[in-house]
Amino acid sequence: MTRVTQADVARAAGTSMAVVSYVVNRGPRPVAEETRQRVLAAIEQTGYRPDGVARALVGGSTMTLGLIVPDIANEFFAELAGAVEHAARAAKRTVLLANSDGDVQTELGLLETFLQRRIDGVVIISKAPITAARMLEQAETRRVFLGAAPAGESSIGVDNFGGAVAATIHLVGHGFERIAMIGGPAGDEVAEARRAGWQHAITSLGAVDDLAFVHQPFTFDGGYVGARQLLGARPQAVFAASDRQAIGLLRAAADEGLSVPDDLAVITFDGSAASAYAVPSLTTVQQPIAEMAALAVQQLIEPDPQPLNAVLEVGLVVRRSCGCS
Amino acid sequence: MTRVTQADVARAAGTSMAVVSYVVNRGPRPVAEETRQRVLAAIEQTGYRPDGVARALVGGSTMTLGLIVPDIANEFFAELAGAVEHAARAAKRTVLLANSDGDVQTELGLLETFLQRRIDGVVIISKAPITAARMLEQAETRRVFLGAAPAGESSIGVDNFGGAVAATIHLVGHGFERIAMIGGPAGDEVAEARRAGWQHAITSLGAVDDLAFVHQPFTFDGGYVGARQLLGARPQAVFAASDRQAIGLLRAAADEGLSVPDDLAVITFDGSAASAYAVPSLTTVQQPIAEMAALAVQQLIEPDPQPLNAVLEVGLVVRRSCGCS
DNA sequence: TTGAAAGCGCTAACAG
DNA sequence: CTGTTAGCGCTTTCAA
């Protein structure tokens, strides 16, 4: 039993392939109602399923979007991926997912693969935004950078600096003076902005003698290790650059016999679902994930004439870990 | 600047399209080394990129695999998706990801979309395995069911019953007699197997008077709500059907002022990374996620002549939440 | 309103 | 070893 094609339907309906195409696509030419019914019946009867590959070959669009994240196992990216897929689905698009593992070569290789697949556009969290942008530009493929983005490219991000400032100020408001930070990887643009916000708030408020800061990956273990490095100096509070790290930090605090928030206040960044269920619940700077995803997908489907450079607002979700009731 | 095609390369190399195809695909016909070099140079110079769509149209294979999970935001599925993508990438395949939201209609719609895209195969966690299998069968598309699967279909699962038995027995070994369970959704095959294992262990060991059990979704909140329902009866231990639920349970216990494992022992199922970093760390039945993913991908790429029905072993990872150490 | 036919870019016979 | 050519299944002019 071989594939049912448009020709089979045409034959069964006693009409031409063109007409079948017109009814399947509701255009671009009108079809007499009676003919339409015959075609519809033939489709039903033959079990015809349009071939997206052939369609893409002639039509140009694959109705497919690519998504490249560093690590889908990270809840933030997982939630983001879910949101992107939902937005894409609502727009009848399908999503190709790939992990770059935070590696530049891998990322570029993935991009190459996606380009060969002729995706209509890509949402990317890039480690090599300039190179990626160049590849995409010359392949005339739409893209939206999340986080780090080259000038002139569409990007969607959040106010990392402002969020970090708000988080730190909140801690200062609690009366803490020694506020350490577990930052992201050195060189990461997003991580640096969060660090800058923390530093700005700290120094402008004169809250600390020495700025205890460590670079760590955005992982549970990064948070754990960072905490071990920082806790010796007995900070009163720690700002973690991501929820994953904060959870690692919570575990480290427990291992050291430190009670959060009594012995150590914690505040973090992301606002993933996990942050709400940690013990204690994490006060966190919440990113508008669904909004970012919706905006990204929209931008790929019907791009603004000018590059979009969205910096979305974040909100501080106050829970228990900072010391608030 | 329009797309560079094989014809352009052929022209630049002063040869035919066929030869270009032969060198790009290293076959099926041999090409003289000198010609090959000329073609390679022409490819380089023109910036030619093979068109996967056209390739798929003629060749039959899209080199694309589909993955349908209920909810990518769930860490277990996120880790699984990551593992599937890695395995697929190693095999030069690309992954289309979609969330069914645990809804049958959505799942079937997704499958239809995937079929139109002519994916080579699909890994699916299905809520309607029979219908899904029928669709896939008649579209002659390879598939592997994870978890619930119809008879005669390839499936990969873990020993849910055995894992639950082991977990429960471990709890009994601690001397607990009142061991409650937060199970998965009613009717879920995997969830039922875990329940059966718990029940079997409990009753055969005569460990409990009444079997406190509640059905809950595999979510943080499911675990939280389930815990609130169960904790009133003051069980000595609770077996949660998933890590997500266990984390919700941990939060509920904290809210009730119960210390884990001192006042309440907890054991769970999945073995996601999050379980290791919870406070206290969760004793859990670990699923071999990478192995499942690798097996699934392999099965799609080079299927066994007979349907594969793998039931992988799980391992109990003993940590703090059960009261050990 | 409908049909014939020309491709979309590529692979794989088939023929030199 | 290399070139010619017939499709793959579909959309869309262009004619009728």
Q: What percent of chain A has pLDDT over 90?
A: 94
Q: Is B209 exposed, middle or buried (0-12, 13-18, 19+ CB in 10 A)?
A: exposed
Gap from A32 CA to D15 C1', Å: 19
Is the Cβ pair A97, B81 closer than 8 Å? yes
Is the Cβ pair B52, A273 closer than 8 Å? no
Is the Cβ pair A274, B54 closer than 8 Å? no
CATH 1.10.260.40 fits B6-50, yes or no: yes
Q: How much is the average pLDDT of A40-54?
A: 95
Say yes or no to pLDDT of A209 above 70: no
Predicted confidence band at A219 (pLDDT cuts at 50, 70, 90)?
Answer: very high
Q: Is A187 exposed, middle or buried (0-12, 13-18, 19+ CB in 10 A)?
A: exposed
Q: Is B44 exposed, middle or buried (0-12, 13-18, 19+ CB in 10 A)?
A: exposed
In chain B, what is the straight-line distance between the N-terminal and C-terminal CA atoms, in Å?
A: 68
- Asked if B2 reaches chain A (Cβ–Cβ under 8 Å), the answer is no
Tokens encoding B103: 């809804």
Q: How much is the average pLDDT of A2-22?
A: 93
Selected for mutation to probe chain A from B58, B97, B228 (highest A CB count within 10 Å) is B97
Gap from A57 CA to C12 C1', Å: 19
- Buried b / exposed e along A112-134 (16+ C-beta atoms within 10 A): ebbbbbbbbbbbbbbbbbeebbe
In strand D, the nucleotides that come within 7 Å of a protein beta carbon are 1-5, 7-14
- Asked if A279 reaches chain B (Cβ–Cβ under 8 Å), the answer is yes
Domains A64-157+289-313 and A160-287 are alike in CATH topology = yes
User: Shortest CA–C1' contact from B59: which nucleotide?
Assistant: C11
Residue that has been written with the tokens 């109990």 in this structure: B316
pLDDT in the model for residue A28: 87
Q: Is the CB of B32 under 7 A from strand C?
A: no
**Chain B hits for A57, Cβ within 8 Å:** 51, 53-54, 57
What secondary structure, in 3-state letters, does chain A show?
CCCCCHHHHHHHHCCCHHHHHHHHCCCCCCCCHHHHHHHHHHHHHHCCCCCHHHHHHHHCCCCEEEEEECCCCCHHHHHHHHHHHHHHHHCCCEEEEEECCCCHHHHHHHHHHHHHCCCCEEEECCCCHHHHHHHHHHCCCEEEEECCCCCCCCEEEECHHHHHHHHHHHHHHCCCCCEEEEECCCCCHHHHHHHHHHHHHHHHCCCCCCCCEEECCCCHHHHHHHHHHHHCCCCCEEEECCHHHHHHHHHHHHHCCCCCCCCCEEEEEECCHHHHHCCCCCEEEECCHHHHHHHHHHHHHCCCCCCCEEEECCEEECCCCCCCC
CATH architecture of B64-157+289-313: 3-Layer(aba) Sandwich (3.40)
**Chain B hits for A74, Cβ within 8 Å:** 78
- Which 8-state DSSP code applies to residue B60? S
Domain parsing of chain B, residue ranges:
6-50, 64-157+289-313, 160-287
- Asked if B102 reaches chain A (Cβ–Cβ under 8 Å), the answer is no
**Chain B hits for A51, Cβ within 8 Å:** 116, 118
Given B52, B112, B278, which is nearest A118 (Cβ)?
A: B52
Angle at the Cα of B25 from the Cα atoms of A56 and B17, rounded to 5 degrees: 70
Predicted confidence band at A228 (pLDDT cuts at 50, 70, 90)?
Answer: very high
pLDDT in the model for residue B99: 97
Strand partners, B157: B311
Which of A117, A119, A121, A126 shows the shortest CA–CA distance to A99?
A: A126
Is the Cβ pair B277, A247 closer than 8 Å? yes
Is the Cβ pair A96, B98 closer than 8 Å? no
pLDDT in the model for residue B209: 57
Q: How far is B255 from chain A (nearest CA, A)?
A: 9
Q: How much is the average pLDDT of A77-81?
A: 98
The average confidence (pLDDT) of chain A is 95
Gap from B19 CA to D3 C1', Å: 8
| Closest residue to C12 (CA, C1′) | B28
- Asked if A1 reaches chain B (Cβ–Cβ under 8 Å), the answer is yes
pLDDT in the model for residue B27: 74
- Asked if A287 reaches chain B (Cβ–Cβ under 8 Å), the answer is no
Tokens encoding A324: 């608030």
User: Shortest CA–C1' contact from B57: which nucleotide?
Assistant: D8
pLDDT in the model for residue A2: 79
Tens-binned pLDDT, residue by residue, of chain B (325 aa): 678 999 999 999 999 999 999 999 987 888 999 999 999 999 999 999 999 999 999 978 999 999 999 999 999 999 999 999 999 999 999 999 999 999 999 999 999 999 999 999 999 999 999 999 999 999 999 999 999 999 999 999 999 999 999 999 999 999 998 999 999 999 999 999 999 999 999 988 776 656 699 999 999 999 999 999 999 999 999 999 999 999 999 999 999 999 999 999 999 999 999 999 999 999 999 999 999 999 999 999 999 999 999 999 999 999 999 999 7
Gap from A15 CA to D9 C1', Å: 17
* Pairs across A and B, CB distance < 8 A: 147
Summarize pLDDT for A234-289 with one digit per residue, the tens. Answer: 999 999 999 999 999 999 999 999 999 999 999 999 999 999 999 999 999 999 99
Q: How much is the average pLDDT of A295-315?
A: 96
What's the CATH superfamily of B160-287?
Response regulator (3.40.50.2300)
CA atoms within 13 A on the CB side of B312: 21
